[in-house]
Amino acid sequence: MNAASQHSRDPAEEVYEKVNFLMLKSSADYLVQLESSVLEDFVLKYSGVLIFLLNVLDPDRSLKLLSRLTNASVLSLLEEELRMLAIREVAHLGDDPEKLITLTGYLDLVDRLAGHETIPDQEKGVIQDAVRILADMSTEGGKKRFLYLEYFSADKLQEIFRFNLEKNPPVNFGLMAFSSEQVRETILAILARQKPDLLTCVPPTLFSLLIYKLFLD
């Protein structure tokens, strides 16, 4: 390869080639040392790699990696993992066209409402139905997702969810279907304080006593 070709190579591609899936800890340490702009570009183009690492690394290494990410990069990861989980469920719904349409409608909203601050009234029912379907499937599977979110401090977690709410509102609702009670309550509290009109997107089964208390206060 000549010098001109080497110079024109995509930095994210070069980073990917240096990630060793047989040496996950050293690969994570390598990513932590990258320049912020290079790491962010890598996350946008190879988000699946980051998702895999965050789901298998120990909490300390995961937090070190997460602490290097911008809120935009974290949102990109959450969007991609939600797509992966929803698409996996869609593949199992061939005999249930109504649920299939609902989930594909939700995936469309995740893409279409990126950069928007609110959710059109006519789409709120789609999100509520989709979150209910995903929550039921998550319960049946018996495994919580997005556990790496719990490595953030409470303040940072709130900052991330507020950012999501301003940049792509449907994402927070999808997270509620798969996440722990702690994450769910954090999202609900932010919704109740900042955009209570969007609480209609939340299935009743995912509400908690915390929210009723917030309204009483």
Comparing C-alpha atoms, which of 168, 71, 191 is closest to residue 113?
A: 168
In this structure, the answer to whether residues 99 and 148 fall within a common structural domain is: yes
pLDDT at position 214 is 56
In this structure, the answer to whether residues 149 and 99 fall within a common structural domain is: yes
Q: In whole angstroms, give the CA distance from residue 25 to residue 62.
A: 10
Q: Which domain holds residue 33?
A: 1-69
In this structure, the answer to whether residues 62 and 128 fall within a common structural domain is: no
DSSP one-letter code for 152: S
In this structure, the answer to whether residues 96 and 83 fall within a common structural domain is: yes
In this structure, the answer to whether residues 23 and 44 fall within a common structural domain is: yes
In this structure, the answer to whether residues 80 and 144 fall within a common structural domain is: yes
pLDDT along the chain (217 residues), means of 10: 57 88 89 93 92 91 93 94 87 80 94 92 96 86 79 93 96 92 90 92 79 56
pLDDT at position 200 is 93
pLDDT at position 212 is 55
pLDDT at position 92 is 75
In this structure, the answer to whether residues 83 and 132 fall within a common structural domain is: yes
In this structure, the answer to whether residues 118 and 11 fall within a common structural domain is: no
Residues ≥6 apart with Cβ < 8 Å to 48: 80, 84
User: What's the total number of domains in the chain?
Assistant: 2
In this structure, the answer to whether residues 41 and 76 fall within a common structural domain is: no
In this structure, the answer to whether residues 84 and 28 fall within a common structural domain is: no
In this structure, the answer to whether residues 25 and 83 fall within a common structural domain is: no
For the entire predicted model, the pTM comes to: 0.86
pLDDT per position as a tens digit, 114-137: 999 899 999 999 999 999 999 988
pLDDT at position 177 is 92
Which of 16, 36, 69 finishes a domain?
69
pLDDT at position 180 is 86
pLDDT at position 5 is 47
Q: Which long-range contacts (CB under 8 A, 24 or more apart) does 117-122 make?
A: 117/165, 117/166, 117/167, 117/169, 118/169, 118/195, 118/198, 119/169, 119/170, 119/198, 119/201
